[in-house]
Structure formats: structure tokens, C-alpha cells
Amino acid sequence: MDTLNRNYGKKLMALVAIALVTLALLTKPVLAADSPHWSYGGAANPTQWGKLSNDFTMCELGKDQSPINIKNAIEDSPAKISFDYHPSPLSVVNNGHTIQVNYAQGSTVNINGEKYSLLQFHFHTPSEHEINDRASAMELHLVHRNETGKLAVVGVMLNEGKSNPLIAEIWEQIPDVGTTKTVSDRLINVANLLPNNKAYYSYAGSLTTPPCSEDVSWNIFVEPITVSEEQIETFAKIYQVDARPLQPINSRTVQLHL
């Protein structure tokens, strides 16, 4: 009987060990991906992104990179941007680089007759783009993709001022680094983060994070929205700086749509 108990105990310990290893693999943090580590400071800062991986070479060699200083814009066609945003369950991701909100399918933006689906939105501090040499406290990026895979990002500048109720809700649900928190019974509508005036700047750019892929349609609203000093500080306590430095505009033209 003692021998049977000892054998049973050994098998039980082995099963527990296997279960713990399996659990560790299944709950591996979002940050532990195959992609090389990159950051906004230290040895993996933006000046080094292009050297971290062959997949990141556009960060160093690309000629149409983002963000840029938006200035000397040429007035072009009237604003042709319209939003069909719908409520979505609140799903907040702390991915180690920013606070991101994943959005339910079905919300779209139409830019010059091209329809793109909203995938997610996230935040940067300070703003990545500058407008006429001036940065904002924060910048909101709404990331969209069309049926062919082309990306369109709508940018909203966030200046210090009145508190924003929707951002207050998002901040309340920020999870630990590498995790996601979904509040399925709470619906939000990102339309509440858009300015009233739909005039915007447009230019051809890139992702502002590795792999810095180009052929991204950028559309930055002229009018900012406001967030409170406390809301800015809450984000900065988690990510003090998560903004890529300005990139050369090279031969590109920035258009202004009023």
C-alpha cells in the first residue's frame, strides 16, 4: 500500500507540474511576443528601431515616415470625411507601449469615398505630430483598415482643459501591463472623442511604431479636444513619453481640407 501511495504521489506531482507549465504558457503576457523588443528610451529607442530587426528596416530607410510637423499645408478639396461609429463594449489593453481600446466590428469612416473599418484607438504623450511647430499634451489615433488592407489613421490632438468623460471611463479600466480588461456590459461610443469641426490635414505617411510600414493615409483634425490636467497626469504615470520623434517630410505635400 505504501508503494502504491508513493507512486500515486509521484504521478500527482508530475501532473501538477505539467499543469503549471501549461498554465504559464497559456497566460504568457502580451508583451512576450516573437517581435523584437523596442521602446521609446534606452538601447531600443526610436533611433535604433531600424537596427533591431530586418522587419523594422523601414523605420530607418523609409522616406514617407510619420509623425511630421504639419505646416505650410496647401488648401485642397473641402472636407470629405464622415463617420459611422457605433457603440462598442469597452475593451482596454495595456500593451507595454500605450493604452489601447479595441473596438467592435461595424464602425467605419469614409474618406474621399473610401470606406475603412475602425479597429482600435490608442494614445500618445506628448503628441506625435506637431501643427505649425506646436505639440499638444496628447494625441489620439483611431486606426482603420479597408478591404484591401490599406490603413487610415485619424488623429485628434488633446490639449489641457476641460475633463473628457469618455477618457475618464477608459482610465478607470486600465489593466496591468500586458493584459486586457473587457467590460462587456459597458458600451462606449468613440464618436464622443471627435471634434465638432471636421476640417483636417491629410498626408501620406507610415505607422509611428515598428515596423513603420508606409502607405498609411493620415488625417489629422485641425480642431483639438480637451482633457484635464489630471487625465494627462494619469496617463503619464504609466507612459511618461510614448511618442516617436518628428520625421523629415521630404517631398511630401500636406493638404488642408476645410
Helix then strand count (H, E) for the chain reads 5, 15
- Strand 214-221 with 151-160, pairing: parallel
Cα–Cα distance measured from residue 100 to residue 114, given in angstroms and rounded to the nearest whole number: 25
Sign of the CA dihedral running 165, 124, 58, 72: positive
Cα–Cα distance measured from residue 219 to residue 207, given in angstroms and rounded to the nearest whole number: 13
Q: Give alpha helix (H) positions in 87-219.
A: 165-172
Q: What is the DSSP string of 187-220?
A: EE-GGGGS-S---EEEEEEE-SSTT--EEEEEEE
Cα–Cα distance measured from residue 243 to residue 40, given in angstroms and rounded to the nearest whole number: 7
Cα–Cα distance measured from residue 66 to residue 207, given in angstroms and rounded to the nearest whole number: 6
Q: Which of 97, 129, 141, 144 is an active site residue?
A: 97
Rounded to the nearest 10 degrees, the angle between the axes of helix 229-238 and helix 165-172 is: 30
Element at 3 (helix H, strand E)? helix 2-26
Cα–Cα distance measured from residue 164 to residue 168, given in angstroms and rounded to the nearest whole number: 6
Please indicate whether residue 37 is annotated as part of the active site: no
The residues facing 130 across adjacent strands are 69
Q: Which residues are catalytic?
A: 97
